[in-house]
Amino acid sequence: MNPSDRIAALRAEIEAHNYAYYVQDSPTVPDAHYDKLLRELEALEAEHPHLVTPESPTQRVGAPAQDGFATVQHEIPMLSLGNAFNAEELTQFVQRVSDRLDKAGSQSEPAFCCEPKLDGIAIALHYEAGRLVRAATRGDGAAGEDITANVRTIPSVPLKLRGNDWPAWLEVRGEVYMPRAGFTALNERALAHNEKTYMNPRNAASGSLRQLNPAITRQRPLEFCAYGWGLIREPVKPLPDSQFERLRLFHEWGLRINPEMQRLQGLHELLAYYDRLAEVRDDLPYEIDGIVYKVDAIIQQDLLGFVSRAPRWAIAHKFPAQEALTVLDKIDFQIGRTGAVTPVARLQPVQVGGVTVSNATLHNMDEIARLDLHEGDTVIVHRAGDVIPKVLGAVVERRPADARRVPLPDSCPICDAPITREEGEVVARCTGGVTCGAQRLEALKHFVARRAMDIDGVGEKLLQALVDRQWVMHFSDLFRLTREQLLDLERMGEKSADNVLSSLEASKQTTLPRFLFALGIREVGETTARNLARYFGTLDRLMAAGVEELEAVPDVGPIMARHIQSFFHQEHNREEIEALIGLGVHWPAEVADSTVALPLSGQTWVVTGKLETASRDQVKADLQALGARVAGSVSAQTDCLIAGPGAGSKLKRAEELGVAVIDEATWLARRADYRGEEAAT
């Protein structure tokens, strides 16, 4: 086949696949096959540049970036639509249409072409001799902007119409929109690159269409759907006299139309259509904000005509808005059961998505910063379906002069304990633990757990009852419970009460590691509790330890050391420990052993290269748990280097210095040895 024929064959095949995929929603070939065809076409066109045409599927980005957009006058104005906000207003519309048609002597029960109202941007496409020659935004209805280069990048906009029975000049009108999935992916990508995100798919579609560089528009997941027309000249055959049939013809010419489009008659059918789409609204792959009903017979459309800027023959029946503007009065901070601090927006009550919204979670401080929220701002609130309301952003132009930024509070609004946020952590936390009303129940559950104080028979339900009666505000209050109090609780018989009391009594004899674990110091798990107990021997020595000394304990890094020190520095914690001991909590003495605590104590290890079975951080944690210090670089002090594939300068240095080097498999075997496990085979 000569190149010109092959090129023609490739174009025809690619266009057929495009039509199936973008217009009919039924892909015919796997993506990989499609890509192969496109690449072959690109290669042939590169070899034979004189065979390139503007309509070739390779030419969707052919234009360089522009300085701005030229103005396009609409030969027929692009109108807007009147709205109906409820069934009554729709009823009135249908009545008005019937009355007018009656008076004009036309059939008075008209059929309607019904479609979802897409939430995007209206555009006009000009086809001359079947070729896309211009695309324009609606603008003010009389004139819009020339966005041809951008629109050419939208795959569902045909560059060339199919068939040959189209008018010499055809202006197609419709909506450019961004499907939800593409919108989410676009925003996720933007977030990951620290770039600006769009508030909703509509803004994203609009922003994408108004890019001066079409190469950027091409990367945006935009779609086009036709719902009408403008100027039509020199039809080769008479066009159908129905809106519905005309759009079906457009579909045959390669334009996408809405798959939900239906021709219906009578108010009852229109309302049923509305209800059905309202029901599936949140499951559609794109956002819609209502239904558009258009009188189907074009002759009736002409009879009805226009009022000011909207046709009398069409109306938009709106769904309840999923977005609304309101004022952010205040940002409060809520404390979760684990101490996590969550900012909450207090909003002036507003109707959105069918309910009144006056609060919305803001998740964390980063979110407040990302949305640049100030108290006093006018904000956009979104609520769809059963989803919790969300603040999308502030309308910065409306920010009052006295709007206030809100910093993370220093202390907990419930218990007044310090709030901290560790470097690199998103979540801030209240350090109050059991003394904080919000965290009490969780802290108590941890305290009584089997691996902590092991208080049998005291479970969540009982703890909740004790907290509700304010009998247990601190751990120590558990040991002050009386038989009378317990018997006063619902469903607590004498036998159960006695069991609880004897469990409590038995739990007083514990071990130092269990006691330390039970206190619920942040980051201190069982292993660390054991290491701390072994290293310091006594609680007094541990409580007096400084950060540096704490860091010498196997498995304790700088962040944990600070947590531990700050815990024991807080007066209420010291008092609580004293109270517990005063009530009889005791443990056998530990033999302090800060020298030979763990197999790798005193050793310095380095990890480098790619590891197969675990992340490098995990290996480091394992090394630390075995007592090793893990360093970032190899020196004469290094005892051993674990080197995975791709190890570079560190491996070289280790070899120069004669430092022991082992691979990952050897490390795993040694680790099993140290831990007294059977080596993995």
Using the contact rule CB under 6 A, the part of the chain among 24-32, 310-318, 368-376, 404-412 near ligand IVH is 310-318
Closest approach of ligand IVH to the CB of residue 228, in Å: 5
Cα–Cα dist 451/471, whole Å: 24
Among 72, 161, 314, 381, binds ligand IVH (CB under 6 A): 314
For residue 96 the two structure tokens come to 């008005």
Spatial contact of 129 and 104, defined as CB atoms under 8 Å apart: no
Cα–Cα dist 322/137, whole Å: 25
Closest approach of ligand IVH to the CB of residue 227, in Å: 4
Torsion of CA 363, 369, 372, 375, to 10 degrees: 60
Closest approach of ligand IVH to the CB of residue 241, in Å: 17
Reduce the secondary structure of 230-280 to three states and give it as a string.
Answer: EEEECCCCCCCCEHHHHHHHHHHCCCCECCCCEEEECHHHHHHHHHHHHHH
Using the contact rule CB under 6 A, the part of the chain among 117-125, 418-426, 435-443, 624-632 near ligand IVH is 117-125
Site for ligand IVH in 122-151 (CB under 6 A): 122, 138
Shorter beta-carbon distance to ligand IVH: residue 176 or 611: 176
Using the contact rule CB under 6 A, the part of the chain among 110-118, 164-172, 276-284, 351-359 near ligand IVH is 110-118
117 is catalytic: yes
C-beta neighbour count of 642 within 10 angstroms: 25
Burial class (CB in 10 A: 0-12, 13-18, 19+), 149: buried
Shorter beta-carbon distance to ligand IVH: residue 311 or 389: 311
Task: Look at the block and give the residue holding tokens 């403008």.
Answer: 230
Q: Does 316 bind ligand IVH (CB under 6 A)?
A: yes
Closest approach of ligand IVH to the CB of residue 390, in Å: 24
Decide: helix, strand or coil at residue 660.
strand
Q: Does 311 bind ligand IVH (CB under 6 A)?
A: yes
Closest approach of ligand IVH to the CB of residue 344, in Å: 35
Q: Identity (one letter) of the amino acid at 348? A: Q
Residue 76 Ramachandran class (φ > 0 left, ψ -120 to 50 alpha, else beta) = beta
Q: Among candidates 7, 14, 5, which has minimal Cα distance to 38?
A: 14
Site for ligand IVH in 167-226 (CB under 6 A): 175
Cα→Cα distances 341→37, 316, 337, 420, 567, Å: 54, 44, 10, 9, 18
CA angle (257, 229, 57) in 5-degree steps: 60
Using the contact rule CB under 6 A, the part of the chain among 209-217, 309-317, 360-368, 381-389 near ligand IVH is 309-317
Among 118, 324, 443, 497, binds ligand IVH (CB under 6 A): 118
Measured in whole angstroms, the distance separating CA 118 from the mean position of its chain's CA atoms is 23
Q: Per-residue x/- mask for ligand IVH, residues 286 to 305, rule CB under 6 A? A: ------x-------------
Burial class (CB in 10 A: 0-12, 13-18, 19+), 161: buried
Total residues contacting ligand IVH (rule CB under 6 A)?
15
Q: Does 227 bind ligand IVH (CB under 6 A)?
A: yes
Q: Does 228 bind ligand IVH (CB under 6 A)?
A: yes
Using the contact rule CB under 6 A, the part of the chain among 79-87, 182-190, 483-491, 665-673 near ligand IVH is 79-87
Chain residues binding ligand IVH by CB under 6 A are 79-81, 115, 117-118, 122, 138, 175, 227-228, 292, 311, 314, 316
List residues with catalytic annotation.
117
